[in-house]
Structure 1
Amino acid sequence: MSLAEKAAMFPDKPGVYLFRGERGEVLYVGKAVSLRSRVRSYFTGAQTNKVQALVRRAADIEFIVTGSEVEALILESNLIKEHRPRYNVLLKDDKSYPYIKVTVQEIYPRVFMTRTQPRDGSRYFGPYPGAGAVHETLRLLKKLFPLRTCRQNRFRNHRPCLNQHIGRCLGPCGGEVDPEQYRAMVREVLLFLEGRHAELVRNVTRKMEQAAAELNFERAAELRDQLQAIEQVVAKQNIVSQRLENQDVIALARDGNRGRAVVLEIRGGKLLGHQSLNLKGIEERSDAEVLAAFIKQYYRESGFIPPELLLAVSLGEEQALIGEWLSIRRQSRVRVQVPQRGRKRDLVRMAEKNASLAREQMQFERNADEALADLTERLGLAETPVRLEAFDISNIQGTQTVGAMVVFMDGKPAPAEYRRFKVQAERGPDDYASMKEVVTRRFTRAREEQALINSGQLSSKEAKFNVLPDLVLIDGGKGQLGVAHRAMSDLGFIEIPVYGLAKEEELVFAPGRKEPLPVAADSEAGYLLQRLRDEAHRFAVTYHRQRRTKEGLRSLLDEIEGIGPRRRRALLMAYPSLDALRAASVEELSHKPSMNTKAAQAVYEFFHGTSHPQ
């Protein structure tokens, strides 16, 4: 049965549909009022290039019926978060955007930065555009509130830390503060993060006046200082409304297939800050489609949803539906509107101005897009590749051989996706066999992880190899390319294009072709492949150097009496280099795992005593 025939049998009911690829991976998630009508539309009439590519790749379609369109929206949002399908509009690198986490489920909650959001009962605020913005907010919180910062294992030691001694922590680890008193402070932290500063000021003022009335002047003075610090922070924020409103104002910037959503956060009538978040997968989508997809992802995990969203463009039919969904999440009415005049329209213009600045920044990034377009044309690819992977091998005379995999996303390095491999078999200087092993391990892991994801035993966020490349580059000529291509073919990954880039002459080869491909070394495509290859080489050499250093350190530690395998492993984990170990004192060494004073003394004397002259 063809996919078009299967779609014709879908029910005429609201729900969610999923396009899957040959290995079961989710390519696209969508929702519909009528599953049958919506999915059939993919196979009838003229379609965009992106839809045509989706249909070509799809091996199966599934559906899930829901009770209403709002339920379908909620399920669609959750499935997009879980699978991050390549054909959906996505917050770019969504899983790496930082959040502020408040562990409200703990007796003595903590506040810290995180890039993951497990369902553990905590409150999350964000996403923030980068770690710098999070650290600045945390710095303010530490100045305003004496929160604990220690991890759970340190907290369980019940030993007061330096922060308590200098008055920056209430000391819950030593039982110095009542849990309810501490939680009252955490509620004020939540008010601050939600932008409810006026309410926070009223709370602190009331407590200060109460302490003074009870003649507790020391406590009143502490609260006075805290109040002044809060008011200083609030005073720096621009007043945009006298009505003390809470609003988010959202505009969109586009430049080709790149997008950036700009969110102005207005809390208590003041401009608290703004976020500028990258989007991908927006080509051939209307502004309304892109903005609707962004709003669903942005507010899916948000710790605070304001009662009003002001938009630069209408969301069309989805606007009322998204307003209903946000109201359910907020548990009170959320208005979603596109103001046409007055003060609210002025706020939208401010967001649009910020979006215009974001567009200018995106234009500077366009070089990578041009290189990818040039690469697509010169290699005759059906689609512009998004994820490029390069592999390289590094060794010295066949010893301590390592492999490296680097990733470029949209033409730029994505270090969080890099992977390194310790080649398991020492074969002497055999780069071909080593390349085969590394490529085989990478794609075997991809197949295994996708099977675990499909069976529900692994989430996409936990997986490290399930995302497949659109193009693979091998550092080497025809020989290395041949073994890599055979390894991928043996595992069933024949649809992924793979090329080799030979050193010196910078020639690009494809499997089965004697002559190099028409990719000039000085072309945009050639420069892109060279940068990708060079980054793989750098990453491989760096890892190999680290292994050599550790191996040399391991040999030295084997000579020290009293340092067995367990202590050797502990020292290798603690000290990345010989210089770092040599600089350690006896006291420092004695506090490392598995070490004691006698063993620490032996290590110190080995490097500094007469038994081992330097």
Structure 2
Amino acid sequence: MFDIKYNISILPESPGVYIMKDKDENVIYVGKAKNLRKRVSQYFRKTQNHSEKTRSLVKNIIEFEYIVTENEIEALILEDSLIKKYQPKYNILLKDDKTYPFIKITINEDFPRVFSTKNYIKDGNLYFGPFPSINSVNEIMSLIRSYFLVRSCNIHIKDGVKSCRPCIYYQTKKCNAPCYGLISKEKYGEIINEISDILNGKSKDYILNLLKEQMFKHSENLEYEQARDIRDKIEGIKLIFEKQSIFSGGENSEDYINIFRYDNEACVQVFFLRNGRVVGREHFVFENIMGDNDEHIIEQFIKSYYGGTAQIPSYIYSPEFLDKDNIEKWINIKSKRKVYFKTPKGGEKKELFDLVRKNARVMLDRFKKNKYLCSVDRESDYLNELKDILCMNSKIDRIEAYDISNISGFDSVGSMVVFNNGTPNKTQYRRFKIKSVQGPDDYKSMKEIVSRRFEHALKEIKCIQEGELEHTYGKFCIFPDLILVDGGCGHINAVEEVLKSFNINIAVCGMVKDDKHRTRGLIYKNQELNISSELIKFITRVQDEVHRYAITYHRSLRDKRSLGSILDEIPNIGSKRRRDLLMYFSSVEGIKKASIEDLLKVPSMNRSSSESILKFFNKSKT
């Protein structure tokens, strides 16, 4: 047993980070301290003076760890890193999942794509940003596509191979059509290097002078069309540099942060100013902030927000908070330049600061209204009822539901949907193509998909523990509080058998239907539970969603198989010609309508094979 009193007595009186854990060894809180012994001991003294949130935290602490640092700044940096890694329940977190857009160049492809994305992944590609709003990225991307003609499709293109005919983007002069071999890999690479140089912020004059030299050379050689194209590109680059200077953090960049609070909910609003112009704004709503004062919320918000992907401006205007000096030193280290925290006292900056607070109030009011309209409170009631009838000790935050779909065992697939706090989380949905089961065996299929899900989870957890993967990048490492399966006792037993083999303890319920195929209730531990009509409505939503997701995937596989089956029946059409035909015409309907002249345009087709297709489809019509 962990002796809390003894372990507090041997804590060093040094700066550091403390890590609180619950009975399941989950990290539930991470904090920093100037004096570890003094700070940690405060949690276990006079608990009646603590806020409701702190009392709840202390009640769940079974043990703690600590890491000593040289100073408070090191402790702050380490605290930020550990909060990101563990996402502790009692820390104030940016749960809105608002990430900021990047411009991505896929340099690991022969013909790289340039597009905007909110997902920053360490995949060897180039990322530029983040930008304060999607509108800023869209403006820059529009200029890049207009003047550089790079592709935006997902087609796999190999140098020198005509994989398909040019699309509408080529016809409207927005792409160089590398898919049809109209530009070499080397020439396309030069264009990508130019875009990369611009987004990297290389010298504007240097790039423009190089292009002007090329323009004059073409003009001297009487190559006026090429000279005109470069002239237009020069104008486009000037515009891109202008946008970059507006949207990037520099000497004239400012962020205004303010907060509005009502009871246990608060909204933090951020306005982004670049060169005196508001270029974007964001808001973040925090719930269940029992006992946290505004100063603490602002301090935690700044650490979470600027510790993530947000751009760091030169000036940050915010309400006063306690640890201002240390956070200013920390953010200077992070941004590698001087950043100033200020609180406006008067003038135009104070007026804008007050306007940010008014916007925070409006957004919180809107959030509360939407919360009421979406019946989030009622969904909490459903989850509480579910928790009570299953005799569970902890709150149900995450539900995973599974279903199998097939026709006579063909194209058998499985689906997994996720509900967080009673709301679908579609980014967490997963689908599985059944690999090991032949024929219509739902129980074995269910065992396969659940086994694969938790095998992935255990591998990810191992990688996270060994430092090979960050917690936020894991796709399966978060376990559900409850598993629902579309079926009865047989399906439940199949899942429980898998969980037992992995030594995982999670409650499993079956969602059963009546004779009219309507959701009737839940089966748990071989007994059908007596549940309210309101909870049945919630279970119906879950059951319908997991079934919809499974059947959609099944139909897509079936349609692909049907497509292949039609072309398989045509004489003289092998796998290469099938592929080329589908790449060129995109669908069987397109192939049906094609003339013999159209068919002969496909690289691998000859007159004999083209006539076979015409004959086949004409025969099928009769």
Give the TM-score normalised by structure 1: 0.75
1:448/1:257 CA distance change after superposition, 3 Å: farther
Matching residue within 277, 287, 302 for 1:270: 277
**Counterpart in the other structure of 1:378:** 385
Deviations 1:10-48 (A, max 9, x none): 433222333457787654433222333434444454266
Is contact 1:147–1:168 with CA below 8 Å preserved after alignment? Answer: yes
CA distance 1:30–1:440, change in 2 (3 Å): same
Task: Identify if the C-alpha distance between structure 1 residues 569 and 393 changes in structure 2 by more than 3 Å, giving closer, same or farther.
Answer: farther
Kept after mapping to 2: 8 A contact 1:586/1:601: no
The residue that corresponds to 2:512 in the other structure is 502
Q: CA deviation at 1:267?
A: 1.4
* Cα-to-partner distance string for 1:459-509 (whole Å, 9 max, x where unaligned): 334432111123322223444334434433443332x44333322464443
Q: Report the Cα distance in structure 2 between the residues aligned to 1:123 and 1:88, rounded to whole angstroms.
A: 30
Q: Does 1:439 align with 2:450?
A: yes
SS of the residue aligned with 2:478?
coil
Residues of 1 paired with 2:608 and 2:400: CA distance? 44
> Does the 8 A contact of 2:21 with 2:61 survive in 1?
yes
Letter in 1 for 2:322: G
2:561 aligns to what SS in structure 1?
Answer: helix
Whether the aligned pair in 1 keeps the contact of 2:570 and 2:616 (CA below 8 Å) is no
Q: Verify: 1:527 aligned to 2:531, yes or no.
A: no
User: Bigger CA drift: 295-304 or 42-51?
Assistant: 42-51
Match of 1:299 in 2: 306
| Partner Cα distance (1:257, 1:321) in 2 | 27
Query: Who is 1:133 aligned against?
Result: 135
Task: Output aligned runs, 1:571-590, within 5 Å.
Answer: none
1:95-106 aligned at under 5 Å gives the runs: 98-101=101-104
Q: How far, CA to CA, are the matches of 2:20 and 2:598 in structure 1?
A: 56
Distance 1:283 1:486 in 2: 41
Question: Which aligned pairs between 1:472-511 and structure 2 lie closer than 5 A?
Answer: 472-494=483-505, 496-504=506-514, 506-509=519-522, 511=524
Structure 2 partner of 1:81: 84
Amino acid of the residue matched to residue 525 of structure 2?
Answer: G
- For residue 585 of structure 1, report the CA deviation from its aligned partner: 9.2
Counterpart check, 1:116 vs 2:120 = yes
Residue 415 of structure 2 corresponds to residue 415 of structure 1: no
Measure how far apart 1:349 and its partner are. Answer: 1.4
* Rounded Cα–Cα distance in structure 2 between residues aligned with 1:353 and 1:13: 42
Query: Are 1:113 and 1:134, in contact at CA under 8 Å, matched by a contact in 2?
Result: no
Q: Aligned with 1:80: secondary structure?
A: helix
Distance 1:410 1:600, change over 3 A: farther
Does the C-alpha gap of structure 1 residues 478 and 267 become closer, same or farther in structure 2, counting only changes over 3 Å? same
Distance in 2 (CA, whole Å) between partners of 1:583 and 1:540 is 33
Greater Cα offset, 410-419 or 390-399: 390-399
- Assess, with a 3 A threshold, how the Cα gap between structure 1 residues 391 and 257 changes in structure 2: closer, same or farther: farther
Equivalent residue runs for 1:449-488 within 5 Å: 449-488=460-499
Amino acid at match of 1:516: L
Paired residues of 1:32 and 1:69 also in contact (CA < 8 A)? yes
- In 2, distance between residues paired with 1:473 and 1:316? 46
1:261 aligns with 2:271: no
8 A Cα contact 1:207 1:223, kept in partner: no
For structure 1, the 5+ residue unaligned runs are 192-199, 238-243
**Residues 204 and 44 of structure 1: CA distance in aligned 2, closer, same or farther (over 3 Å):** same
CA contact (8 A) 2:132 2:280 kept: no
Deviation at 1:249, TM superposition (A): 0.5
Cα distance in structure 1, aligned partners of 2:580 and 2:371: 44
Distance 1:314 1:183, change over 3 A: same
- Asked if 2 retains the 8 angstrom alpha-carbon contact of 1:17 and 1:63, the reply is yes
For residues 26 and 611 of structure 1, what CA distance do their matches in structure 2 show? 69
Which residue of structure 2 aligns with residue 2 of structure 1? 2
3-state DSSP of counterpart to 1:315:
coil
Letter in 1 for 2:613: E
Letter matched to residue 298 of structure 1? Y
SS in 2 for 1:274: strand
Note the residue ranges of structure 2 that are not aligned, 5 or more in a row: 177-182, 221-226
Could you tell me whether the CA contact under 8 Å between 2:15 and 2:34 is conserved in 1? yes
CA distance in 2, matches of 1:297, 1:599: 65
Q: Is contact 1:499–1:508 with CA below 8 Å preserved after alignment?
A: no
* Correspondent of 1:391 among 396, 402, 418: 402
1:190-217 deviation per Cα after TM superposition (whole angstroms, max 9, x unaligned): 89xxxxxxxx9x9999999999xxx999
Q: Answer yes or no: is 1:174 the counterpart of 2:182.
A: no
Counterpart-to-counterpart distance in 2, 1:382 and 1:123: 44
Q: Distance in 2 between matches of 1:465 and 1:394?
A: 22
Distance in 1, Cα, partners of 2:279 & 2:39? 41
Q: Which moved more, 1:108-117 or 1:27-36?
A: 108-117
One-letter code aligned to 2:541: R
Contact 2:451–2:498 under 8 Å retained in 1 = yes
Note the alpha carbon deviations across 1:64-92, whole angstroms, 9 max, x for none: 32222112222222333344444433223
Provide the C-alpha distance between the structure 2 equivalents of 1:60 and 1:516, rounded to a whole number of angstroms: 37
Tell me the CA shift for residue 539 of structure 1.
Answer: 0.5
Distance 1:365 1:338, change over 3 A: same
Question: Percent same amino acid at aligned positions?
Answer: 30
Query: Which residue number in structure 1 is paired with residue 342 of structure 2?
Result: 337
- Secondary structure of residue in 2 paired with 1:336: strand
Q: Is the CA contact (8 Å cut-off) linking 2:258 and 2:357 kept in structure 1?
A: yes
Quick check: 1:321 aligned with 2:326?
yes
Q: Deviations 1:412-449 (Å, cap 9, x if unpaired)?
A: 22212101122334365443443333333323332232
The 10-residue stretch of structure 1 (86-95 or 361-370) with the greater mean CA deviation from structure 2: 86-95
Match of 1:195 in 2: none
Match for residue 613 of structure 2?
A: 605
Instruction: Give the drift of 1:332.
Output: 3.2
Residue 63 (1) aligns with residue 66 (2): yes
Question: Any idea what SS the aligned residue of 2:66 has?
Answer: strand
Instruction: Quote the Cα distance in structure 2 between the aligned partners of 1:434 and 1:599.
Output: 47
SS in 1 for 2:70: coil
Does structure 2 conserve the Cα–Cα contact (< 8 Å) formed by 1:368 and 1:411? Answer: no
Displacement of 1:55 in angstroms is 6.2
C-alpha contact (below 8 Å) 1:90/1:294 kept by paired residues? yes
Deviations 1:531-556 (A, max 9, x none): 22211111011112223223334444
Aligned equivalents of 1:603 and 1:34: distance in 2?
A: 85
Specify whether residues 325 and 580 from structure 1 end up closer, same or farther in structure 2 by C-alpha distance, changes over 3 A only. farther
Q: Which moved more, 1:24-33 or 1:469-478?
A: 24-33
For residue 240 of structure 1, what is the aligned residue in structure 2? none
**Which residue pairs with 1:11 in the alignment?**
12
Is the alpha carbon distance of 1:596 and 1:526 closer, same or farther for their aligned partners in structure 2, counting shifts above 3 Å?
same
Tell me the distance in 2 between the aligned counterparts of 1:41 and 1:133.
47
Indicate the residue corresponding to 2:180 in structure 1.
Answer: none
* CA RMSD after TM alignment: 5.4
Q: For the structure 1 residues 11 and 147, does the alpha-carbon distance in structure 2 shift closer, same or farther, using more than 3 Å as the test?
A: farther
Residue pair 2:128, 2:200 contacting (<8 A) in 1 also? no
Report how many aligned residue pairs link the two structures.
Answer: 588
Aligned to 1:549: 559
Which string of whole-angstrom CA distances, capped at 9 and with x for unpartnered residues, describes residues 80-119 of structure 1?
Answer: 334444443322364865334589999x998642311539
Rounded to whole Å, the distance in 2 between the matches of 1:590 and 1:59 is: 74
In 2: Cα distance, 1:588 partner to 1:445 partner = 47
- 1:144 to partner: Cα distance: 8.8
Give the secondary structure class of the aligned counterpart of 1:424.
coil
C-alpha contact 1:90 1:280 (8 A) present in aligned 2? no
